[in-house]
Amino acid sequence: MDRIRIRGGRALAGTIPISGAKNAALPLMASALLTDGPLTLTNAPDLADVTTMAGLLAQHGLSVTRDKAARTITLSGTATNLEAPYDLVRKMRASVLVLGPLLARHGRARVSLPGGCAIGTRPVDLHLKALEQMGAAIEITGGYIEATAPGRLKAARIIFPQVSVGATENILMASALAKGTTEIVNAAREPEITDLAACLMRMGARIEGLGTDRLLVEGVESLGAAVHPIIPDRIEAGTYACAAAITGGSVLLAGARLDHLGAVTRILRDAGVDVAEAEGGLKVARLNGLRGTDVMTEPFPGFATDMQAQFMALMCVAEGAAMITETIFENRFMHVPELLRMGARINFHGASAIVRGVPRLSGAPVMATDLRASVSLILAGLAAQGETIVNRVYHLDRGYEHVEEKLAAVGADIERLPG
């Protein structure tokens, strides 16, 4: 199993290209089930999760063509197999996003209950209850969601009791082919939702309310072909912003968009990091010292839960203390014991952690437990004295494209060691 070795202490300088967003690419790929296509996605990232989704859609019967050099994925055809098997779905939670499109277009779906990172239960109840409101009959048997909807799904007024990105995506896709106009209330507002809606509209869907928490979707009989560019990855951009800050460096995040970062920009600025729009992307630099800054994760435009671990690593070397509160997932502090091994001072209880900054972290062997925890340990290694070995980096490859190459190109002493 591959490992990543880092020798810390180097300030980063240069340009880091930001790849297409993983969290946008996966639902966009699933939306190909709604049409014979072809649907061509440009700016497609080369990630393990994208490969997993491509394999899942191929086993459903779609033709999937990837041109990694051109960074495109083209999907076409009609699903001939309506089952998403456990062996594929267990690898990635986003696999559940095939449920809505399969049910809307074919009236039937059998989808394994999902897997993915071990950062909480993340139940699919919101997806299922909303689909039932649209006329689907759903049973869970033998670890599978068995769903049927004779004829077309019917429009409904869906009020989510809590904000859910995945549920909003599933119902947005399902309602594109439903009979009537579906209203989605308390919809997630993440940029990836807007990107999915924009792609569906290119395919012929009728959607109002983009960027708001109330979406209106007028169902159509069928959707057609489209070409759609995937938005840049705001979490990757935020991660490399933290990398520049934790090393005292200055980088240009090529392709990154300020409007996609939400509260991350404000929190970084409060902590002493300059984030500014520049030609071709965002310029990020640490001004002087880092300041301990409190943060609470919230749905967009609040501070992203996918940035919590990276920001915690940054706060480990800030002056003063920071309280970090996680409100989205209940099991997302698994990186804390590994940061403690590197000399961090962190106390946590329940959903909150108090981080007291130290002058310098120390390199150590550490173990990655999930995707964002993996990269937080790399950030800590960049700032640490001595050598850090991050083990179990297969998590990292799910969501970060060539991370060691991108960091090495801006001055980091980092390399991948084959397992």
Q: Is the pLDDT of residue 277 over 90?
A: yes
pLDDT digits (tens, 9 = 90+) for 329-360: 766 788 999 999 999 999 988 899 999 999 99
> How many structural domains compose the chain?
2
Through-space distance between the first and last CA atoms of the chain, rounded to whole angstroms: 4
What percent of the chain stands above pLDDT 90? 85
Residue 123 among known ligand-binding residues: yes
pLDDT digits (tens, 9 = 90+) for 372-410: 889 999 999 999 999 999 998 888 988 899 999 999 999
- Point out the catalytic residue in the list 117, 199, 242, 316: 117
Which segments of 204-341 does DSSP mark as H helices, in order? 234-247, 263-270, 308-315, 336-341
Note whether 216 and 260 are same-domain residues.
Answer: no
| Among candidate residues 183, 207, 229, the one where a domain is terminated | 229
Mean of pLDDT values over 13-42: 97
Q: Which amino acid is at 156?
A: A
Mean of pLDDT values over 61-87: 96
Mean pLDDT, the chain, rounded, equals 94
pLDDT digits (tens, 9 = 90+) for 134-187: 999 999 888 899 999 988 999 999 999 999 999 999 999 999 999 999 999 999
- Between 80-94, 117-131, 161-175, 370-384, the lowest mean confidence (pLDDT) is in 117-131
Residue 176 · residue 223 · CB < 8 Å: yes
How far apart are alpha carbons 241 and 305 in whole angstroms? 16
Where b means 16+ CB within 10 Å and e means fewer, 281-315 reads bbbbbbeeebbbbebbbbbbbbbbbbbbbbbbbbb
Note whether 202 and 88 are same-domain residues.
Answer: yes
| Among candidate residues 197, 229, 261, the one where a domain is terminated | 229
Residue 124 · residue 93 · CB < 8 Å: no
pLDDT score for 330: 65
Q: Is the pLDDT of residue 328 over 80?
A: yes
How far apart are alpha carbons 349 and 328 in whole angstroms? 16
pLDDT band at 121 (very low <50, low <70, confident <90, very high): very low
Note whether 319 and 376 are same-domain residues.
Answer: yes
Note whether 128 and 92 are same-domain residues.
Answer: yes
Q: Which amino acid is at 193?
A: I
Note whether 236 and 354 are same-domain residues.
Answer: yes
Residue 212 sits in a domain of what CATH number?
3.65.10.10
Q: Which amino acid is at 320?
A: G
More confident residue, 1 or 180: 180
pLDDT score for 199: 98
Note whether 199 and 241 are same-domain residues.
Answer: no
Neighbours of 224 (CB within 10 A): 14
Residue 328 among known ligand-binding residues: yes
Q: Is the pLDDT of residue 119 over 70?
A: no
pLDDT score for 126: 92
Q: What is the dihedral of CA 165, 171, 174, 179, to 10 degrees?
A: -150
For 351-399, the DSSP string reads TEEEEE--S--B--EEE--SHHHHHHHHHHHHHSBSEEEEE-THHHHHH
Note whether 166 and 300 are same-domain residues.
Answer: no
pLDDT band at 116 (very low <50, low <70, confident <90, very high): very low
Residue 185 among known ligand-binding residues: no
Note whether 185 and 84 are same-domain residues.
Answer: yes
- Between 66-70, 256-260, 349-353, the lowest mean confidence (pLDDT) is in 349-353
Q: What is the pTM of this model?
A: 0.95
Which range marks the domain in which residue 44 is found?
A: 22-229
Residue 125 among known ligand-binding residues: yes
Note whether 196 and 224 are same-domain residues.
Answer: yes
pLDDT band at 123 (very low <50, low <70, confident <90, very high): low
Provide Rg for the chain, Cα atoms.
21
Note whether 153 and 239 are same-domain residues.
Answer: no
pLDDT score for 78: 96
What percent of the chain stands above pLDDT 70? 97
Note whether 211 and 275 are same-domain residues.
Answer: no
Note whether 30 and 164 are same-domain residues.
Answer: yes
- Between 56-60, 79-83, 84-88, the lowest mean confidence (pLDDT) is in 84-88
Beta pairing class for 214-218 and 250-254: unpaired
Could you confirm whether 117 is annotated as catalytic?
yes
pLDDT score for 114: 74
pLDDT score for 348: 87
How far apart are alpha carbons 231 and 229 in whole angstroms? 6
| Among candidate residues 177, 205, 229, the one where a domain is terminated | 229
Residue 46 among known ligand-binding residues: no
Angle at CA of residue 127, ends 139 and 130, nearest 5°:
90
The candidate with the shortest Cα–Cα distance to 399, out of 193, 188, 92, 120, is 92
